[in-house]
Structure 1
Amino acid sequence: MINSLRARLLITLLGLLAAAALVMGLSTYRSVLAETETLFDYQLRQMALALRDQGEIAANQARALADEQLDFVVQIWTVDGRSIYASRAHTNLPARALLGLAEINVNGQAWRTFSVATPERIIQVAQPVQIRQQLAAAAALRSVVPLLLLAPLMALLGWWLSALTLRPLQQVAAGVRERDAQSLAPLPSEGLPDEVAPLVTALNALLQRLGQSLDQQRSFVADAAHELRSPLTALKLQAQLLARATDPATREEAMAALTAGIERAARLVEQLLALARAEPGALAVAPQPLDLSELVREAVADCVPLARQRGSELQLFAERPVTVLGDRAALTALVRNLADNALRYAPPGARVELRVEQVEGRPRLQVDDSGPGIPPAERAHVFDRFYRRNLSDEGGSGLGLAIVRQVAERHGAAITLGDSVLGGLQVSLLFPEA
């Protein structure tokens, strides 16, 4: 199979050219044959009519008609059938005359004849069909020869035109090939043919998406490094305090602080990994039908220890199975972050409710809490990575809602923030119909 677009185009052009030349050649050949036959018949007729009007054949005309190089044979009969003249001796001359144009076969040799009658005699002019065909074929071939000579020139012209036509595509390929890995500037699209312009437009859109993805990754790495620096520094200080502790009470207090710091750092790393897995460029898992009620039930079970620790009430309303298409691990991380955020940012003893239901055939997950809520002016920013309303809160990393948004976008879910009937924040996710 030929992979070269230029070769395919050239072969196609040459094939069309060959087919057109063949059709034109055959048409011209047959047309010239027919015209030559008509011309030869006209010559026969004119010679016969000339001899009819002439009356007698002069001696010098008889010698000319008897020339062996002359293809025509003239015969004259009386009205009663006696032969009175033949332009030259021939073993297979037609022995009879059919008035007008006719084709007579004599001993295997075909003759084309034209006969005309007068009151006293019958004049016939005959010509061998084989000679007529040879002359007609030669004339037809001469008319086809220019096409045969023109075919190579047309092939060269087709090769040049194919190269000229594909030059914009080669220029685009050269422009892409000459770039390094860091060059994401758009390719020039001015003056490109309509067939190449969509390709360049798509490439430029891809380069733009790659640039945005790289910017997001660089920003993510920079923010992650910045966020990790503080807890790691705190762990180092707490380890030094533990090493300098002299009495058991101080050592126990330092150990508790170190343990809490390790837990916060571990949670931050876990959330960073969850956010990286939820990024648009991460490896996607094929969606599968899941029971959202069961999935939420399992995810909420992981948050029960935190709820008990804070003395908060955690309730789940998921009475019936609700099917959703998605990635189990990603959706579990989404639910866990929503419940964890609601518990951490609400005061101790608060109430958190999770509700799974079907709304007009679409699965919906709703989380309500009795915490302080989020002012409407700040709701657009809480989905940003590392955004925290209060740096002195429960040590949050500002990644929970960012993870929720990424997972929701991957699953085509619409996420909205509002005021809860419990007095705090309400987070609602409406998934596509499974």
Structure 2
Amino acid sequence: MNSIRGRLLLYLVPALLVIYSLTAWRVLTVTAHEAEEVFDAELAHFARIVLNLTHHELQEEQKKTDIDNSQSVLPAITGHLFQGVLKPNAPGGTDNSAPGHPYELKLVFQIWTTSNQEVFRSDGAPTKRLSENNSGFTNNSIGQRGWRVFSISDDALGITIQVGEDNAVREELVAQIISNMFSPLLLGLGLIVGLVWILVGWGLTPTRKLTTVVTQRDRDHLEPIKTSDTPSELLPLVQSLNALLSRLKRALDNERRFTSDAAHEIRTPLAGLKLQARVALGAADDTTRRTALRSIDQAVDRTMRLVEQLLTMARYDSGLPRTTIQQVDLNNVAADVIAQIEPSARSRNIELTLLRDAKASAPGDLGMLQVMLRNLVDNAVRYNHANGSVEIRLRQKGREVILEVSDTGPGIAEQHRTAVFDRFRRLAHQDGNGTGLGLSITARIVELHGGRISVTERPGGGAQFTVTLPRD
């Protein structure tokens, strides 16, 4: 389920059902227990009333007739006393024609002698003794009916009063309680679910607003989302979105600037090509024509180099390919780069020196690291003085590898040392053959490998580029 509202209901409704069930079970058990207590109290109270009435009536009869054997007159006394009390419309009894309660005939009593002789039983009472106990509460089954019985004895009279209540009374009461309790509970549960649905929808309003705000964003509207009214639960998401928008805006700005600069950089050699082509076409002699064609050839080389570096920059802007990462021995990389650039250095009598370190290795992309070092060494040779020197030094420091490329050239003024890594940036002393992208590409490669690059003045004059890469 992808709906937050649906998920919340999926979690809340079962939880509510469990809580409701536990609450209902607790209420039911407590109510049933209290009802049992009330019914038992009524049984005991009724039994004592019957006993007291019997005792009082027997005393009155003894005063009149001076009877010694009380049990001999008990049947007559109790029959006269209780006739019609629990027998509706019995002759000589009280007028019970008024509507009663259906539970009346489910409450019965019996009077037994200590010799287990029946003295009296009310209408509806079973012929069998309700309980074998002579005192206290018992549960008993007679036939298909269950009875809750309270027994009380009078040793002076030699009788036991047993009052019984059909269990159906209590079962019907519990069923009625369940019916009266669960109907409102189920109705309340439905209302709560509906209310939760509405409240969850209302609580998700900030999410819908955020969706609307994000939907309205495009490449021309990447300003950060306001966080002043953002709920704390959504604040991390909004902050992450703002960071993403900031990176996207920066990337688009870089793309626009790169496209503009690239168009300008390509337009310049193309204009030169067109001019030299016209010169060659209009040349009156072979010398002029050859000079123009030579210029065209050089311009084509510069343009090809520019396009190649533009493609390299665009490729590296997409990030570091994780599938090509390996542990790279920078000693071997430096040796390969020196072998590639040595002919150019020899033509100007520039000495190339490599100071190795056996532990100088770092994880990364071999091709990228070769491009990085080649750009640094190529720049050091290209802008160096004739008969100068270039030193490549590798060393390990803690968990980092440090690569230093220093030359004996004119160096880089302090105010230009940060800008030198900008795209299409050329310094005043540099010739026009460069593209202004080499150091930008180098800085990007270092960044992709989690490293740092800086430029300082070499002791004794010249420039020194320092690259620091993590070893793991």
Does the Cα contact within 8 Å between 2:351 and 2:387 map onto a contact in 1?
yes
Please report the RMSD computed on the Cα atoms of aligned residues, expressed in angstroms: 2.3
For residue 276 of structure 1, the aligned residue among 310, 314, 317 is 314
Correspondence 1:194-343 to 2 at 5 A: 194-279=232-317, 281-282=318-319, 284-286=321-323, 287-318=325-356, 320=358, 322-343=360-381
CA distance 1:153–1:173, change in 2 (3 Å): same
CA distance 1:332–1:86, change in 2 (3 Å): same
CA distance 1:167–1:319, change in 2 (3 Å): closer
Residue 149 (1) aligns with residue 148 (2): no
Does the Cα contact within 8 Å between 1:387 and 1:399 map onto a contact in 2?
yes
Provide the residue aligned with 1:74 in structure 2.
109
Deviation of 1:7 after TM superposition, in Å, equals 0.3
Deviation of 1:358 after TM superposition, in Å, equals 2.4
Q: Deviations over 1:17-42 (max 9, x none)?
A: 11111111111122221111111111
Deviates more, 1:357-366 or 1:218-227: 357-366
CA distance 1:384–1:112, change in 2 (3 Å): same
CA distance 1:309–1:268, change in 2 (3 Å): farther
Provide the residue aligned with 1:130 in structure 2.
168
Q: TM-score, normalised by structure 1?
A: 0.92
- Alpha-carbon separation, structure 2, partners of 1:188 and 1:50: 82
Q: What amino acid sits opposite 2:84 in the alignment?
A: R
Q: What amino acid sits opposite 1:335 in the alignment?
A: L
CA distance 1:82–1:154, change in 2 (3 Å): same
CA distance 1:369–1:89, change in 2 (3 Å): closer
CA distance 1:178–1:58, change in 2 (3 Å): farther
Deviates more, 1:78-87 or 1:302-311: 302-311
Does the Cα contact within 8 Å between 1:28 and 1:144 map onto a contact in 2?
no
Deviation of 1:265 after TM superposition, in Å, equals 1.7
For residue 104 of structure 1, the aligned residue among 140, 146, 163 is 140
Provide the residue aligned with 1:28 in structure 2.
27
Provide the residue aligned with 2:129 in structure 1.
94
For residue 344 of structure 1, the aligned residue among 382, 398, 401 is 382
- Alpha-carbon separation, structure 2, partners of 1:268 and 1:305: 22
Provide the residue aligned with 2:151 in structure 1.
115
Deviates more, 1:212-221 or 1:93-102: 93-102
Q: Deviations over 1:151-176 (max 9, x none)?
A: 11111111112111212112211222
- Alpha-carbon separation, structure 1, partners of 2:17 and 2:295: 88
- Alpha-carbon separation, structure 2, partners of 1:318 and 1:88: 118
Does the Cα contact within 8 Å between 2:109 and 2:125 map onto a contact in 1?
no
Provide the residue aligned with 1:63 in structure 2.
84
Deviation of 1:299 after TM superposition, in Å, equals 2.6
Question: Which structure 2 residue ranges, 5 or more long, are not aligned?
Answer: 58-77, 89-101
Provide the residue aligned with 1:429 in structure 2.
467
- Alpha-carbon separation, structure 2, partners of 1:282 and 1:89: 96
Does the Cα contact within 8 Å between 1:238 and 1:257 map onto a contact in 2?
yes
Q: What amino acid sits opposite 1:191 in the alignment?
A: D
CA distance 1:424–1:399, change in 2 (3 Å): same
Deviation of 1:247 after TM superposition, in Å, equals 2.9
Deviation of 1:388 after TM superposition, in Å, equals 1.7
Deviation of 1:361 after TM superposition, in Å, equals 4.7
- Alpha-carbon separation, structure 2, partners of 1:309 and 1:386: 27
- Alpha-carbon separation, structure 1, partners of 2:192 and 2:134: 50
Does the Cα contact within 8 Å between 1:382 and 1:388 map onto a contact in 2?
yes
Deviation of 1:198 after TM superposition, in Å, equals 1.2
Q: Deviations over 1:106-136 (max 9, x none)?
A: 3453321111122212211111223322323
SS in 2 for 1:431: strand
- Alpha-carbon separation, structure 2, partners of 1:371 and 1:151: 85
- Alpha-carbon separation, structure 2, partners of 1:7 and 1:47: 58
Q: Deviations over 1:398-431 (max 9, x none)?
A: 2222222111111122222222246311111111
- Alpha-carbon separation, structure 1, partners of 2:284 and 2:353: 45
Q: What amino acid sits opposite 2:373 in the alignment?
A: V
Q: Which has the higher contact order (CA 8 A, sep 6+)?
A: 1
Question: Which structure 1 residue ranges, 5 or more long, are not aligned?
Answer: none
SS in 2 for 1:355: strand
Question: Stretches of 4+ moved more than 6 A in 1?
Answer: none
SS in 2 for 1:94: coil
SS in 2 for 1:176: helix
Q: What amino acid sits opposite 1:305 in the alignment?
A: P
Identity %: 34
Q: What amino acid sits opposite 2:321 in the alignment?
A: A
Deviation of 1:293 after TM superposition, in Å, equals 1.4
Q: TM-score, normalised by structure 2?
A: 0.85
Does the Cα contact within 8 Å between 1:28 and 1:140 map onto a contact in 2?
no
CA distance 1:60–1:391, change in 2 (3 Å): farther
The number of residue pairs the alignment matches comes to 432
- Alpha-carbon separation, structure 2, partners of 1:108 and 1:310: 122
Provide the residue aligned with 2:92 in structure 1.
none
